[in-house]
Amino acid sequence: MLEVEDVRKTFAVRRRTGRLRRTRVNVDAVDGISFTVGAGEFVGYLGPNGAGKSTTIKMLTGILTPSSGRVRVAGLDPVRQRTTLARRIGVVFGQRTTLWWDLPLRDSLALIRHLYRVDRAAHRTRLAELTEVLELGAFLDTPVRQLSLGQRMCGDLAAALVHDPEILVLDEPTIGLDVISKATVRAFLSRLGAERGTTILLTTHDLGDIERLCRRVMVIDHGRLAYDGSLERLRATADADRILVVDLAHPQAPIEVDGARLIRTDGPRQWLAIPPDGNAAAVVAGVAARYDVEDIALREPDIEDVVTRLYRTGAAAGFRWEPDRL
Amino acid sequence: MVDAVRTYLLLAGTWLRAAAQYPASMVMLIVAQAVVTSLDLAAILIIFAHTSRLGGFSLPEVMFLYGTAGVSFALADLTFGSADRLGEHIRQGTLDTLLVRPVGPLLQLATEDFSPRRIGKLVPTGAVLVLALARLDVAWTPGRVATVPLMLAGGYWIFAALWVLSATWQFAVVDGKQAMNSVTYGGAFLAQYPLSIFGRDVLRGLTWVVPLAFVNWQPALYILGRPDPLGLPVFFRFASPLVAAALSVLAAVTWRTGLRRYRSTGS
């Protein structure tokens, strides 16, 4: 559904070099990335601010023209066939609404129906469906400017799906939302992927989104693809240790056990790090056999740590992980 | 083209319905706009209280110029006037949201917030035009009769192209709206008067640089049977459609270029 081949986007930026002098500097917002996304995949697209996420999305949707490389979405060239493509994709920008500020949500959706030439009957069914799952009923007749951020996001999701697109591109849809709104949006997206088979590309800062929704993750940093593969492998690749938290019956000398090293003690509680290729079961058995243990907990590496580590190593060494498809 | 007009009407209709939910506000806006537009006419009437001729033109003749320029401009403003919001959309990043829809962004911009308020300009100018046509002392040959709708259409088309050019200018200069308003609104103001009163240099500029002379001045010279103060050949009296076509091509090319080179915002 999405094919991106060695795509680059260079912006000429004017920098002030003197009081009045300015020089033009070329900045690669996206610096040669390639990936493909198959039909029905739910892919998370991760990266720090300014990494090139939004630029990639804008090239996929035909808003920006790539400086070089090849982009195909649903077999179409996004820039040349932008309006044709628009009928087949839905786009949600978390940072700005596609709805009209002064119109009630219902009128905004009616306008969008005309834009996409959805016939009245189909629209009514679709709207009823969306109203139910996104719980729009309470604010369908409220002007968009009066909606809360969470309501507005649900409205924007509905607006992007009025024409039942095959592909949905989401640019930070959960930004600024509270826990409940986030949960609604996530539940809706996960249902959309599972029931309609919509291909979904999700850009986010929120690793919770990725953990709950995406089986495949792409990480972009400094305009380059730093990782492309499953979430589990991301954890392993980024070489993060699992943490074993041991609560002893009473404070004791540091635990010594094969396959793990002690990283912290606090009274009766001790933290052990198990390398990714270590055998956690053996470590647990070893600790339990030799010490008086009250409780034991194994913590998987936090995705946040993993990604931070990935950004750092990737940035420092210009290192690039080999793409690994699911 | 037919498709575009259909979409235009659908979108404009939806906006109109939304505006009609507040009928009192809608009527007041129309009336206010009509009053403001009529102020220009009041200025002309005051001038004629002191003199019987303005630049060699009688009151009905000046009213004819006022009416034709006003109707052309009001129609262009009605249909394309909101295109010059492009700068705001670029600055706020909302142009992106227009670009991901299956309808051209110009069409979406032009219909945006389509408000009957803009009809307020059409009512007084249209009334003046009718009045002027009734009082003009002109031998109405078929050629002259046919020229009236043609000059209105040509004038409309020229102003519409200017609105689009005003928008495309903002691809380069995001804050350029004010500068271009001097061409659109300023142009509409100038075209209400016999251009001869502004002097030959301004007249040359309005012929060759910003071709507002073709909105109503040149065809009106033919209808009113006047010689051209610049001595341009008769062909120019009928050149409005050509000028309109040339401006449209220019507007279309710059619009496309602007869109192609659009850089979007940072997020």
Q: Which residues of A touch B104 (CB under 8 A)?
A: 83
- Taking residues A187-214, report their average pLDDT: 86
Q: How far apart are CA B92 and CA B73, in angstroms?
A: 28
Distance from CA of A139 to the nearest CA of B (A): 16
Q: Which residues of B touch A50 (CB under 8 A)?
A: 266
Query: For residue B36, what pLDDT is reported?
Result: 85
Selection from B117, B160, B131, B161 nearest residue B63 by Cα:
B131
Query: For residue A303, what pLDDT is reported?
Result: 65
Query: For residue A320, what pLDDT is reported?
Result: 42
Flag residues of chain B having pLDDT under 50. none
Interface test with B, best of A53, A56, A82 (most B CBs within 10 A): A82
Does residue B113 belong to the interface with chain A, where contact is any CB pair within 8 Å? Answer: yes
The percentage of residues in chain A with a pLDDT greater than 70, rounded to a whole number, is 91
Distance from CA of A250 to the nearest CA of B (A): 53
Q: Give the residue, A162 or A319, on which the prediction is more confident.
A: A162
Q: Which residues of A touch B113 (CB under 8 A)?
A: 102
Rg of chain A's alpha carbons, rounded to an integer? Answer: 24
- A58 → closest Cβ in B112, B113, B264: B264
Query: For residue B127, what pLDDT is reported?
Result: 92
Does residue A213 belong to the interface with chain B, where contact is any CB pair within 8 Å? Answer: no
pLDDT higher than threshold 80 for residue A240: no
Which distant-in-sequence residues (6+ apart) come within 8 Å of A162 by Cβ?
A109, A112, A113, A116, A118, A123, A126, A127, A130
- Residue B96 and residue A96: Cβ atoms within 8 Å? yes
Interface test with B, best of A92, A98, A119, A152 (most B CBs within 10 A): A98
Ranked by mean pLDDT, the top range of A95-109, A278-292, B203-217 is B203-217
Q: Please tell me whether residue B227 adopts helix, strand or coil conformation.
A: coil
Q: Which residues of B touch A83 (CB under 8 A)?
A: 101-104
Interface test with B, best of A10, A56, A58 (most B CBs within 10 A): A58
Query: For residue A304, what pLDDT is reported?
Result: 66
Q: Which residues of B touch A223 (CB under 8 A)?
A: none
Distance from CA of A98 to the nearest CA of B (A): 5
Q: Give the residue, A252 or A160, on which the prediction is more confident.
A: A160
Nearest residue in chain A measured CA to CA from B101? A86
pLDDT bin (cut points 50, 70, 90) of residue A168 is: very high
> CA angle at residue B90 from B88 to B92, to 5 degrees?
65
pLDDT higher than threshold 80 for residue A325: no
pLDDT bin (cut points 50, 70, 90) of residue A324 is: very low
Which distant-in-sequence residues (6+ apart) come within 8 Å of A102 by Cβ?
A143, A144, A145, B18, B113
- Residue A114 and residue B14: Cβ atoms within 8 Å? yes
Nearest residue in chain A measured CA to CA from B104? A83
Q: Give the residue, A95 or B241, on which the prediction is more confident.
A: B241
pLDDT higher than threshold 80 for residue A50: no
- Taking residues A30-58, report their average pLDDT: 88
Query: For residue A321, what pLDDT is reported?
Result: 41
pLDDT higher than threshold 70 for residue A128: yes
- Residue B102 and residue A54: Cβ atoms within 8 Å? no
Does residue B166 belong to the interface with chain A, where contact is any CB pair within 8 Å? Answer: no
Q: Which residues of A touch B101 (CB under 8 A)?
A: 83, 86, 112, 115-116
Taking one residue from A and the other from B, the number of pairs with CB-CB distance under 8 angstroms is 73
Q: How far apart are CA A286 and CA B19, in angstroms?
A: 75
Q: Please write down the long-range contacts of A73-76, taking CB distance under 8 Å and 24 or more positions apart.
A: A73/A1, A73/A2, A73/A3, A73/A167, A74/A1, A74/A166, A74/A167
Work out the mean pLDDT of chain A and round it to a whole number. 84
- Taking residues A170-194, report their average pLDDT: 87
pLDDT bin (cut points 50, 70, 90) of residue A165 is: very high
Taking only residues 43 to 102 of chain B, the set having a beta carbon closer than 8 angstroms to any beta carbon of chain A reads 92-94, 96-97, 99-102
Of A127-131, A318-322, B49-53, B57-61, the poorest mean pLDDT is in A318-322
Q: Please write down the long-range contacts of B177-182, taking CB distance under 8 Å and 24 or more positions apart.
A: B177/B84, B177/B87, B180/B84, B181/B84
- Residue B14 and residue A64: Cβ atoms within 8 Å? no
- Residue B11 and residue A115: Cβ atoms within 8 Å? yes
Query: For residue A238, what pLDDT is reported?
Result: 62
Interface test with A, best of B5, B6, B101, B261 (most A CBs within 10 A): B101
Query: For residue B70, what pLDDT is reported?
Result: 93
Whole-prediction pTM: 0.79
DSSP string over A201-223: EEEES-HHHHHHH-SEEEEEETT
ipTM above 0.95, yes or no: no
pLDDT higher than threshold 50 for residue A281: yes
pLDDT higher than threshold 80 for residue A319: no
